[in-house]
Each structure stands twice: as structure tokens, then as C-alpha cells.
Chains A and B, each alone.
Chain A
Amino acid sequence: MAAHAVAQDLVRTLRHQIAKIEGRLAERLDERQEAASQELDATGGKDMLPIGVQRLDAALGGGLPASGLAEIHGHASRDAGAAAGFALALVRLLAQEKGVRPLLWVGTADIFREAGRPYAPGLTARFGLSPENLLVAEAEKLTDVLWIAEEAARLDAFQAVLLEIRGNPPVLDLTATRRLHRRALLAGLPLFLVRAAGEPEPTAAPLRLTVAAAPAAPRLTLAGPLAGSIGPPAFRVTIGKSRTAIHAAFTLEWIDDAFRERRKHSATDTVPVVPLPPRGPAVAAAAGKGLAGAGARRDAAAGVQPAGEQYAAHRRLRRTG
């Protein structure tokens, strides 16, 4: 009995500490947490954004969490283009899934100085993000940036929040990321924490992807790939941390508002790394597993029954979407 009372006392003390951290009343914390975890069970656990690449989706357990914090890292500040580009591609996928809403891109003033500012014509052309759907917020101090992100993370009026930070500032610790994660979860909003030149460190984000640029495939013309040209952007994506915890690397290409995986990695541009779009069911079957995700979609569109192995993936993709 006494041990029970002591344990209860301990729990109460801890709750008060948590309440102090979160800046709320301890009495409210209990039911709030319960509601939050219920909601998390209802949506956060299941609501996934399929990336559209079968192997990657399988490795991530169905895709990207459609709400909450997700970290996207780049090795150096030179990779800010690739990391931000990958995040914007994900935002585009979200927009296709859920309808277009404004995106908030918030960052410290130094990251925008160091890695460049968002450039509207490029964003529109490549990621279909029109200028009126983009808000760019910046502040000198990281605490102000985090404040903006936290305030935005509770608004479900946004499509997503892109929080861009350079390096590993001590302010953005486990507590700060947990606050962000929690708010984004409650609002059902994805919050991409884009970190150029950041070392992996413990955060509350359930997922961390490391993104680097990969050599792009040559442009496709009617006469085949054009030698020496630079085609659509390609990314080298490594799963750094995931709930399903499969460490793997993928090379993705962003072609016509969808991701495709490139299996055979080739830096030379004489070999066509992306096969031509199949023109009929026979060609699609011949394309084989290498194009499983894309092939399955196309088959479905053509009204052809996919192969047994592809079928399951195909069904799951449809149902969750």
C-alpha cells in the first residue's frame, strides 16, 4: 500500500514537471494526454503518405507519417538544395492527396543567407508550388523561428510547415522537438525539419531521412535520352531513423510530380537509366520488378490485373490513399 502511494506521488511529481515544461496546468495534462494519444492512435499511427516507391514505402512501413515531425537532413549546407527539394516534393505529394493549401517555409536568417532564398519561379516550375501558396518566414534568432514554427504547427490551414535550420543548435533539443511534434500531430499537419549540415542527434521525430543529391538522368526526348543533358532532379535518400528501423538507401527521381526509384545507379549518361514509358501491357510486364511501383500504377490504369506479388502492394496503396 505504502509503495503504491509513493509511486503515485512520484507520478504526480513527474506530471507537474511535465506540466511546467509544457506550460500548462497539471490537472489538464492527464486528459489532454489521453486525448492526444487517442488521436495519435486514430490518425498518427495509420495515416500515411505513400511516397510512391514500393521498396521505400515498404521499408518505412507504408510511407511517411502524414502528420507530426519528420527530419530531413543534408550533409553540408551545399545539400540544402537537395534536402529542401525533397521536402517540397513531399509537399507536392501531400497536395495531390489532400488538395492544395498554403505552405509555410520558415527558417533562420542565416540559413537563407548561406543556402539561398526560396525562388518562386523555380518552385512553381519544378514542384508546382504557386507563389500565392507559399509563405516565407524568417527571423534572426532561433527562438523566434521556433516560436513561428510552433504557432504554425497548430494550424491545420497549412499544407505543411518546412522548418529549416542549420547545424545542431542546443535550443532545438529533445523538449523543443517534442513540443513541435506534439502540436503537429494534434493538428494533423506534417512538419518537415530540414537540417542542412546537421549531425544526427536524439529528437522527438519518429523519422529521419538523410538526403543528398544524386546525378540526374539525362533528359528524355522523342529520340531517346539526350547525351550530356541534365534531366529531372534525383535524390539519394538514406533512412537514418524509422519506427520500422530498416537502414537502407534509395535513389529517387522526381519526374512529372511523382517519385520513381532508380535501381541501377550510373553516373555515366550514355546508358538510359530510366526506361521509356511502356506502351502496352506486354511492355509493362517486360519492364519487370525494377519499375514495380510505377508499373503497378500504370497497369491498374490500363485495366490489367497486376502480378500476385505486386497485387498486395497495389491494394494497400489504394486503400490507405
Chain B
Amino acid sequence: MFSRLESNTRRIAAFDARARELKLRIGMGIAEARAIHPAIEVVEADGAADRRLLESLADWCDRYTPLVALDDEDGLFLDITGCAHLFGGERAMLDDLLGRFFHQGFDVRAGLASTAGAAWAAARFGGATVVGPGEEEDLLAPLPLAALRLEPETRALLESVGLRTSGAIMAAPRAPLVRRFGKKVVLRLDQALGRVQETISPRLPVPSLSAERPLAEPIGLLDDIEMMVALLARQLKRDLERRGEGAERLQLHLFRVDGAVSRIMVGSSRPLREPGLIQRLFHEKLTALATDIDAGFGFDLIRLCVLAAARLDPAQADLDGTMADAAGDIALFADRVRAKLGDEAIRRPRLVESHLPERAAAAVPFSSLPDDARTAIRQPAVGKERPLRVFDQPEHVEITAAEVPEGPPLRFRWRRVSYRVVRAEGPERIAPEWWREAEKSETRDYFRIEDEEGRRYWLYRQGLYGATTAPRWFMQGIFA
């Protein structure tokens, strides 16, 4: 028995068949129930865990249709339009689903109908029925108002005027119903009867293309999975070719025998169609994830989906199927690095219009596409000396001696080493970007500095002498 805290009282949220025999009710206070039956066992309900379970069930249901939606706390909608024939018809599909759920230890009620509302009612009140088109009215008529997915308040109002079944509402004149109880009543009725379209919004993006293969013998080895990827990629290639597209984002779904589903995504910086290339991307990703994927007793269904596709015009390839262009080689290399080590592993610098040195160059993830023409600037400002490398954060420098306060230092300490300045160039004053920064930041004076051994550094002083706070010195980068 599960309890839930409702308005400061512990109440029964759910119970099993034995508790039902004890004449307990849902919503009854725990104290009251204990008074009647002191031996009952009470467990705190965990809404988040219930949700997780429901989501993993929804994942599992992906094997029947890509359109799976969550319904409240305890239901799932599966839009099986065009999927039933793959499982040998609607009845067979329903039996298959119920059978598999039963073997996994779930008590599931299901209904199948041409409208979401009727299926909902069939699942909750009909008991594993397949409702054919046009049979909705017969199904709903004898059922109580709860079968119409109405709120409890509306239901209580309708019942108070004697409308106790769905059939009664169907028979009642519509206009007074709408006037008195709102549009919702009639809308729900129309949805259940198929007079108004009701769309189910799937919880996951629906892939534009997918290929799958159910396996009689579950597989668990990485090599086998990769082989399946290549096989599915070959199936996808035909469809992609027909559409003149290439895949930019691909997802691999691995359905484990016991119901867990793993999703593995790879991205590509240019549209892909070649099965060999797709397999290589997944090879890197799978070897990188090898420890994270638990094959358990194996996977019995493998699906490869194209989540995003882009136009790809056919190009002349070499006879052995390799791409001849250098940019393609680099793109594939970068994609493999990204698949294995993540998007951050390989990046390209991009110049940004900004005065502040740390903002003037950004690192963007690699993509083979050129920069957006509006934001891209090709050349940095000429005539300014800029260092070869800069530190992630400017590092604090202690000035031990200076000729004049405003000028460059004579000696400084950086990373616990003392340096003597031989020559210095500067200052180059860089004012903060007031249009961007919320809080007031200070002016910087940059100096190029050479030490005794000829190493060249880029130091700056933040703040001005005579201001309220003393200026501080920082090391921002080093020159060649």
C-alpha cells in the first residue's frame, strides 16, 4: 500500500488486490486505515520514481511506434497509425504488447481504437478490447462519465443533474450543455467519437527516417552492433538517396531484452550517406561508451534513425567509395574525434568584433560550413601586436619594482618566479566595453615586455593610479 501526503494528511494513494479485499478505499486516511487493520504495510509514494518508470516504459514502447506520448501519471498513448500491419494486425499487436508487459511483471490495461478518447475509455473500462471505427458510440454509451476524461468537478456537476453515463450526455442537447458546463464536455465527447481531430504530441522527436531490425537471437557484442549499424545504414542510404539528402544527426536505439533502451547519438558536420562512414562514426562513439552500455542479456531490436537531414547532392566518388576531397577527409576526421571525445574536443577559432582581447577570439565547435557572413570577420585589426597564446584566465602578477607608477614594471613575480624586465613597449590602453558589461569594469593598460632571456610577455595593469582601488597587474599571454 502506498501513502501520499495530501493537505497535511497521509492518505492511501494506491494499493494492491489484498488491500481491496479489506474494504479500504483510495483517499482514505492512513490513520483511519490503521485503526481498521493495524497490520497493513505502508510505503511512501515516490512520484519521481513512478515518472521514471513510466518514461522507461514509454522508451520500451518505442518498438511499436515512434509516436509515444505520456498521459498523466499512469498512462501511455501509442499512435499506431500504419504500424499495426508490422505486427500482424491490431489484435495481434495488442496481444503482443500485453504479453510482453505481463512477462516483465506489469499489470497493464490496454485499449485500441481509432480515436485517442475511445482508446482511453476502452483501456480503463473496456478491458483489452479493439474498438473498430464507428463502434465508439456503442462502447461509450454505457460507460460512466469518467470515461470521457472530464475533471471531477464537472463530473460532479453533471451527475447532480442526473447525467450519469456518457450515453446520457450524447442524448442531451448540445447547446445547453455547453452553456452550463463549458466547452470541454462536448469537446471530449467529440474527440472520443472522432468528430474532432485530436493529436498526440510525441515525447521524443520523430525521426524523418529510420530503419530497424528485430533480432531472433539477442546480440551484445560491440562488433555485432557495429555490423548491424552498417546493415541498417545501407537500408537508410537508399531512402536518403531517393530524397537527395544526407544525414546530419543520427541516433541508434538499442532495445535490450529486459526492456531498457539505450540511445546513442552522433552528429556529422556535413551530410552523410555512406554506410561505411556512418559505421565509423558509431564505431568511435561505441568504443568510447563501451563501459557505459550495459548489454545485459543482449539487444533484440536495433533501430537507426535520421534525426536531422540536409540536402546532399550526389558527388562523384572514387571506385573504392572513398571521398577524394580534402575538406571531406578533415570533416570526417573531426566528426570521429567529436563522436569519441565530445563536441569540445575539436574546435576552430573564430574572430569576434571586440576590443577586449579575451573576447576577440572565440572557439566554436568544428563544422565544415563557413561562418555566418554577418558575424564573421576575416582579419584582425592590423598594426596591433597580439600574443601567440593567451591564458584561460589572466594570471595575477606581483610587481616588485617599477620606474614610474604609470609605466611598465622593472621586476615582477609570476608563478612564484621573479623576472627582470629588459625592454617594454606600451602602454596600449583598452577601455572596457561599457555597452556590454553590466557592472563597471576598469581600464586596462597593456605592455609588451621582454625579460633577460628574451621571452616576451603580455602584461596589463587594471585600473588607474589615484583611483579608489589600487591597480592590479595581470599576465594575459605570451608572444613567440
Contact = CB atoms under 8 A, between A and B. Distances in A.
Given A122-B388, A234-B454, A136 B478 contact: no
Contacts, number: 178
A158 B392 contact: no
A179 to B, nearest CB: 17
A115 B333 contact: no
Contacts of A124: 351, 379-380
Given A120-B380, A216-B454, A236-B454, A228 B388 contact: no
| A113, A148, A229, most chain B CB atoms within 10 A | A148
A130 B336 CA distance: 24
Contact of B330 (A113, A122, A135): A135
Contacts of A85: 388, 479-480
A148 B336 CA distance: 9
> How big is chain A's contact interface, by range?
35 or more
Given A216-B456, A229-B423, A269-B423, A134 B349 contact: yes
A123 interface: yes
A130 B378 contact: yes
Given A81-B480, A122-B388, A125-B385, A136 B349 contact: yes
Contact of A137 (B327, B345, B381, B392): B345
Interface string B443-464: 0000010100111100000000
Contacts of A123: 349, 388
Contact of B361 (A84, A119, A130, A138): A119
Contacts of A236: 454
A125 B423 CA distance: 22
A79 B360 CA distance: 24
Contact of A254 (B347, B371, B392, B480): B480
Contact of B422 (A119, A157, A215): A215
Nearest to B358: A119
A78 interface: yes
Contacts of B351: 120-121, 124, 131
Contacts of B378: 130
A84 B378 CA distance: 23
A80 B479 CA distance: 9
Contact of B480 (A78, A88, A151, A157): A88
B205 to A, nearest CB: 30
A230 B456 contact: yes
B374 interface: no
A233 interface: yes
Contact of A81 (B371, B425, B479): B479
Given A139-B341, A157-B329, A82 B480 contact: yes
A26 interface: no
Contacts of B334: 135
B391 interface: yes
Given A117-B392, A216-B454, A157 B330 contact: yes
B389 interface: yes
Contacts of A230: 423-425, 448, 450, 456
Nearest to B386: A122
Interface string A224-267: 00001110011110000000000000000010000000000001
A102 interface: yes
A247 B335 CA distance: 43
A277 interface: no
B350 interface: yes
A116 B474 CA distance: 14
A276 B340 CA distance: 53
Interface string B158-175: 000000000000000000
A131 B348 contact: yes
Interface string B288-332: 000000000000000000000000000000000000001101100
B289 to A, nearest CB: 14
A278 interface: no
B423 A136 contact: no
Interface of A: 78-82, 84-86, 88-89, 101-102, 112-113, 115-127, 130-132, 134-139, 144, 147-148, 151-152, 155-158, 212-216, 228-230, 233-236, 254, 267, 269
Given A84-B389, A233-B479, 16 more contacts: A85-B388, A117-B390, A120-B361, A124-B351, A126-B388, A131-B351, A132-B370, A137-B347, A144-B341, A151-B333, A155-B329, A156-B326, A213-B453, A215-B423, A216-B456, A230-B425
Interface of B: 326-327, 329-330, 333-334, 336-337, 340-341, 344-351, 357, 360-361, 363, 366, 370-371, 378-382, 384-392, 417, 422-425, 448, 450, 453-456, 477-480
